[in-house]
Every structure is written in structure tokens, then in C-alpha cells.
Structure 1
Amino acid sequence: MDYPLNDQTLLTLLGEDFYFPHEIIGQACKVSDFDGLKVSSFSTSDNVNLCYWEAGAGRPLIFIPGWSANGAMYFHLMHILSKHYHVYVLDVRNQGLSQRVKFGNRISRYAQDVKELADHLELDEADYCGWSMGASVMWAFIDLFGTTGIRTLSIIDQAPSIYCHADWTEQERLESGAFTTSPERMIASYVNMSPTNTLISASRVVERAMALDSPYFHNVISLVQSVVEDDMAFTGLVLFDHATNDWRDVIQSKIDVPTAIFTGDYSDWLESQHWMNAVINDSVLHVYSKADQGDHFLAFKNPLKFASDLHAFLERT
């Protein structure tokens, strides 16, 4: 990847048009059908080139992807939401089209990167949506900088704490969403696909990631495989810090903006999402059914419903 990128089209980066495996009425059938989708980059204060995807016009809406994810996954969502908003998706360091580096791989540094993206875009205020690890990045952002500049916050299916402490009660574990007692073995299962069991990592995320019964999800995963070259030697560097943070104090005491929480019946940490809804003032909870693709990837598997629900929330506020 040659940096910096300045308003490059995705078609330019691909070198040729990309046709999705599924034609969906009302959606782009190929990359060139999404007129106005751009990819740019900026340099952080520690000299890392981070890419971001953007499309549309109007009030800014910023998405922070989860671990190992990137802007290509948001293709259909951006296509839908850019009709109402100026949509941005940040590829965090070591993910997507952003630079690979061995430093700064902490959630707090990722939060600083989000702040610097907003400064680069000269945004005084924006709506933010963090999915999975991206939600943790937003909690770190609020812990460090408060909610100034955050008009609304949306969170998609992230446990407040991944690691379960040995002295926690079962109720504490459920409220935190904790699902591992060995971060190292959990990380190995994600990075190296090492075998594990549910006592080590009680999560269906990998299983649900491989379920490609949604044509929307199959489309964007196919695009990711065409445009992004993942390197787990870099992508995995942030996972230990991500797994060992407990964000319940931030969630309980520092979120003072309208908040939407999205989860589903397939979620491994559904009770923790109910707990967040109970402790965050002015929050709304959306629980998607299994029929509505209510798993960790609900925004990508059912983008029409998610975009509609998010749009209603953003306009309500």
C-alpha cells in the first residue's frame, strides 16, 4: 500500500471492477455501482498512516470496526446510510488498508487515533458507532476525553469485559459478558486457529462468522478477501490488551449521551447488553431475533434493518 491515499476510489485500489456473488435488489451489484465511495488516509501523531472510507453528505457518522475488520465489510451499510449521512469507517492500525506497525497496539492508543481522525476531518461533533472491539475503543475514548464531540453513541455487541476474574460471582460474569479465563489461549484460537474448548473461550463468534447464509454478508466477506491482505502477526498484537480491559466503570459512570445498544439472540453476552441498557441513562436496546440474523455480525448480515433502526435512533435524538 502506497501512502498517503487521497480520495482514491475503491475501483482504483482494486485495479478492476468487483462483482458481488449475490445480486440484491436496490443494492450495488458491483463496486463501480457505488458512486462516491472514497478511501483516504491521514498520519497519526506517532506517524502511522491510517485509512478511512467515506461516502455521502450531511451529518457525520463514524464507524469503528471490530477486531480484524475493515471498511470493506461496511460496503452495503455505507451504500444505504450515505443517502442520509456523511459516513466514515476507520481502518484501525494493522487492519484493513491501514499501515502495519508493531507499536501502539493498545485500546487507549486506538482511541487516540479516533480522536485524531476527528481532528483531521475537522469535526466538532459526530455520531459514533463502535462494533465489537470498536465499542471498546469508544469506551476508551470516553474514558480519556469524555463525551465532548460525541452527539450519540451506538454499540454493537461487545462484552464490557472479555476476561473473567477468578473471584467474580456468576452474576458478575454475566453482567460483564466475560467468556475466557485464559486470554493467551483465547488469542491463540483466533490468531492461529488453535483448538480450544468452551471452558477457555465460550464464544460462538467464529461459528457465526462462518455462517454465510446472508447474501449481504457473503457479498462483503467476498469483497474483503479481494481488497484486504490480513497479517495476523500484526492484527493479533492488540488482542491481549483488548481481552484484559474491564470497561464497566466507564459504562456506568461516564456515558452521558444518547446511546443505542444492538445485540441478538445468538449473542454470547446478551445479559451484559441488558445490564448496559439498565445502567446507561437515555439508552435504547435492540435485540435481534435469530430470524433477523441476531448474532455478532447483525449489522452486516441484516444491513437494511440495522440501518433503519440506527437511522430512527439518530433522528430521534
Structure 2
Amino acid sequence: MSATIAFAAPAVEVLGKDYAFPNKIEGLPTKLSDFKGLQINSFQTSDGVKLSYWEAGSGRPLVFIPGWSANGAEYINVMYLLAQKYHVYVIDPRNQGLSQNVEYGTRIARFGADLNEFIDHVGADKVDICGWSMGASVVWSYIDLFGTAKIRKAVFIDEPVSIYTHADWPEQERLEAGGMTTSPERMIAAFGGAPTNDQIVDMNAMRRYMENGSEAFQNSEAFAREFIKGDPKFMSLVLFDHAVNDWRDVIRHKINVPTAIFTGENSNNVPSQKWMNSVIAGSELHIYTAQEQGDHFLAFKNPKKFSVDLTSFLDR
């Protein structure tokens, strides 16, 4: 069981100052203090790690789990829109965001246990849950370990089912699994800036991250860079374990709650998301067009559409 070690405090107080976003966008905050009720809290896991989380709003609990290296600050626009209807939480995973850096527990299974302890910490009987990128893997691990009794609805955003491509896979199996590297070690090095090529590591997501034509994405990324100083040494510790997990058995056999899957035309993960949609009974698939900012970062590049689509799914 987890134990609270800090009371919630307004984000402006925790971060130490207000922040003006570079772009003024109708319907989104122009400065941090516009987001009334945004708080940053923390709790301690059973293995002694302080994890931070962002929260706002009231109503049915909606929990977001960020991808690798990501954090709650990047969800500022998504939270602002959804907190008008839900009690929104975004967890900073261990070694990411404002959470504590540690050299242990750097496995997806432990991240799944952290998620279980977080749900216990907030005292929710049921949550709607949304995992993006590696965050989807964390949810799959949670389901594998603890089942779906506390999940009302599940949402997954653009995560390969198996990052590692096995040498004996035919191409169709690679596409359906979403395999994006033949060498986890080379992938980790490439994420750290080492030279690579697309036959070794699919770097499309990294290229799409650099394509920042979305003003909403510019705002959330600038905000995150201002306040979050991640340590690549600690963030990279989970990458090997993350890369070599194959979640097809969990997705095929253990997801028994209403599920929505999001991807986009500019993502190389579309085939694997279609496979997921085909094996999760009753699931729905959203494929954003290129004009709708349909890539790995669709929720942040097009937060208004994503929030509308997510709300429609959650409220049906």
C-alpha cells in the first residue's frame, strides 16, 4: 500500500512561478495561472519512491500514463480541456518528470505495480485509464498483473505491441506487432543521439516530434522544457525492458473492458493498432489524418479534437 507524503499544492506554488505560453490559442490557457485548480501532488510507493502526479477537476477519475521520458507538464492542454468534466490525473513515472530518480524498479512490471498503488492511493473504485506510448505498455502490464476490476474504460495511444522485431518473423507479423527495432541496444543508443538507420531502429516518432507545426504542441513542450529537467541516465534505465516485452497475449486474452485506440496516418504504428482493434472485442479505432496532426503525438498536437473524441468514448 502507498502512503501520502505531501499534500496537493497549486501548480504555480510547486513550480515556483507563473508561466506565459508562447502562443495564444482560443479555448486553451494563455498562462499557467489561467488553469485554476491545477495541482501537483506526490505519494510514496511500497518500495520507497516518491512519485509526483498532476491533478485537476472533479467527477469521474481519468488517469493518464505518459510515454517514455514524458511527464504531466506535456498534458497541460489535455488536462485543461478534460478537467472541465472529469477528475484528471497524470502520473509522472519513476525517473521521469517531477518524480524521484532511482536505480531500481526500472522495469515495466514495476511501473505497472506503481500504477496499481497509485489507484489505491487516490481511493478510486473504478478509473478510466489512458496510456500513451510506453504508458500503454504500463497499462498492459497492470492488466496482466492485477486484471481489469478497477478499470471502467481503457484508451491506448499509438504504442507498438512488441517493439523488438524477432529475426524469424515474417513481415506481416512484424507489422501487426509493431516491431520497430532489431537491436534494443542500438535503439537505446539511438535515443541518446547515436547514429542509426531505419533498418535498425524506426526513428519516425523522433522525426515527428521534431515536426512542431502545432501551436498547441509548441506551448506544451515549451512549458515542459521550462520546468522539467529530466536526467537521460535515469530515464534510459527502463528502455531495454520496455523494448523486449511482447504484449500480444495480454491484448488478445486479458482486455475485457470497453477500449478505444488512437493512431494517425503519420505514424508507422497503424498496422499494429489495427491488429489490436481486431482482437479486442468491441474496441474502436481512431485514425487521425495528417491534416488532423495524426502522428505519435496526436493528443498534444491536436488536444481539442482528442479531448472531444475521448469524451465521446468515455461518456457513451
Question: Do both share a fold (TM > 0.5)?
Answer: yes
1:5, distance to aligned residue in structure 2 (A): 3.8
- Please identify, of 237-246 and 207-216, the stretch whose mean Cα deviation from structure 2 is larger: 207-216
- Which residue type is aligned with residue 63 of structure 2? I
Determine helix, strand or coil for the equivalent of 1:128.
strand
Calculate the TM-score normalised by the size of structure 2.
Answer: 0.98
Distance 1:4 1:226 in 2: 25
* Percent of aligned pairs with the same amino acid: 56
SS at match of 2:271: helix
TM-score if structure 1 supplies the norm length?
A: 0.97
Find the residue that maps to 2:74 and give its secondary structure. Answer: helix
For 1:290 and 1:26, how far apart are their aligned partners in 2?
A: 22
Cα distance in 2 between the residues matched to 1:127 and 1:32: 27
Deviations 1:43-100 (A, max 9, x none): 0000000001000000000000000000000000000000110000000000000000
Amino acid in structure 1 at the alignment position of 2:179: A
Match of 2:24 in 1: 23
Single out whichever of 6-15 and 285-294 deviates more from structure 2. Answer: 6-15
Q: Structure 2: which 5+ runs fail to align?
A: none
Per the alignment, residue 296 of structure 2 pairs with 296
Q: Which amino acid aligns with 1:54?
A: E
> Take 1:36 and 1:227, find their aligned partners in 2: how far apart are those partners?
18
Mapping of 1:226-237 within 5 angstroms?
226-237=226-237
Please give the alpha-carbon distance, in whole angstroms, between the structure 2 residues aligned to 1:181 and 1:113. 29
Matching residue of 2:42: 41
Give the aligned CA root-mean-square deviation in angstroms. Answer: 0.9
Poorly superposed stretches of 4+, deviation over 3 Å = none
Map 1:39-118 → 2, pairs under 5 A: 39-118=40-119
Deviation string, structure 1 residues 21-49 (Cα, Å, up to 9, x no partner):
00011211000000000000000000000
Measured against aligned partners, the alpha-carbon deviations of 1:226-259 in whole angstroms (never above 9, x if no partner) come to 1111100000000000000000010001100000
**Which whole-Å CA distance do the structure 2 matches of 1:117 and 1:211 have between them?**
34
Contact 1:51 1:91 in 2 (8 A): yes
Gapped regions of structure 1 (runs ≥ 5):
none
Q: Which amino acid counterpart does residue 296 of structure 1 have in structure 2?
A: H
1:148 maps onto 2:149 in alignment: yes
Alpha-carbon distance between aligned partners in 2 of 1:289 and 1:203, rounded to the nearest angstrom: 20
CA distance in 1, matches of 2:213, 2:34: 23
Structure 2 distance, partners of 1:133, 1:15, is 29
